[in-house]
Amino acid sequence: MLEKEAKLLNTKRVLFLLVVGAALIFSSRQSELNFPVLLQQGENMVEYVNAYFPPDFSDWDYYFSETVITISMGVWGTLMAAITAVPLSILASNNMCPIWVVQPTRRVLDAMRAINEIVFALIFVVAVGLGPFAGVLALFVNTTGVLGKLFSEAVESIEPGPVEGIRATGASHIQEVIYGVIPQVMPLWTSFTLYRFESNVRSASVLGIVGAGGIGVSLYQSFGSFQYQKVCAILIILVIATGLIDLLSAKVRRWLI
């Protein structure tokens, strides 16, 4: 046991821990972490939060209709992204394509997910005008980058045996993917897509800030006019909607997997 413990504490690992510790200290200073200030301002936070109650549901029917639009944006943004991410993930997988195809594809996916949905929403609002369609396109581009990365990692972790067996029959590369790769990765792809759908509904709720439709428009207007009780009502509706989506996603995941 002592020999095993000694092997765990070698020079490289000690240096690694020191580097990680230094990076954490540096990051804390750059982030200006100051938890005592948070505790000192606790009374102001309580007073501010109290202004949100009781929630004002006088316009609940309008909020409900806008929430439906927000969920619809998440549905189509996720669906379009999942379809597009499938071929891109194959092209970005080291075990499926040569390096000169993999690297450019990965850089494209990096660019898609590195830029926030709100930035894409601003671009598409200029292109297609105000409304939910701009939000759908923004979610589509960003989510394609995320799912493409996750899908490719799933492809790279598959068992090579089934693919090699299909290749031995003289099958084409596309047939290898359809019959050897997709059956292995479909459970993970499904889980990633459903989780991202939940995230997209949340993201879609704030795209209205830049005119991309959905409940975000009402949320932004209520914040701007200091109608915090209406903000509270909108947030409660969003929480309930997200909870229902989570329950539905769990059932769909069990049914498909």
The C-alpha atoms of residue 147 and residue 73 are separated, in whole angstroms, by 17
Q: In the prediction, which pLDDT does 108 show?
A: 94
Fold entry, domain 59-256: MetI-like fold (1.10.3720)
Q: In the prediction, which pLDDT does 77 show?
A: 94
Q: In the prediction, which pLDDT does 52 show?
A: 85
The C-alpha atoms of residue 145 and residue 32 are separated, in whole angstroms, by 31
Contacts of 32 (CB under 8 A, 6+ apart): none
Contacts of 109 (CB under 8 A, 6+ apart): 88, 92, 144, 145, 148, 149, 152
- From the CB of residue 62, how many other CB atoms can be counted at a distance below 10 Å? 11
* Domain locations in the chain as residue ranges: 1-52, 59-256
Q: In the prediction, which pLDDT does 180 show?
A: 87
The C-alpha atoms of residue 73 and residue 171 are separated, in whole angstroms, by 39
Give just the sign of the alpha carbon dihedral 80, 82, 86, 91: positive
- From the CB of residue 240, how many other CB atoms can be counted at a distance below 10 Å? 11
| pLDDT tens per residue across all 257 residues of the chain | 555 555 666 778 888 889 999 999 999 888 888 888 877 777 778 888 888 888 888 888 888 898 899 999 999 999 999 999 999 999 999 888 889 999 999 999 999 989 888 899 999 998 888 889 999 999 999 999 999 999 999 999 888 888 888 888 877 888 888 888 888 898 889 889 988 998 898 888 888 888 888 888 888 888 888 888 998 999 999 888 888 888 888 887 777 66
Q: What is the pLDDT of residues 29-67, one digit of tens each?
A: 888 888 888 777 777 788 888 888 888 888 888 888 988
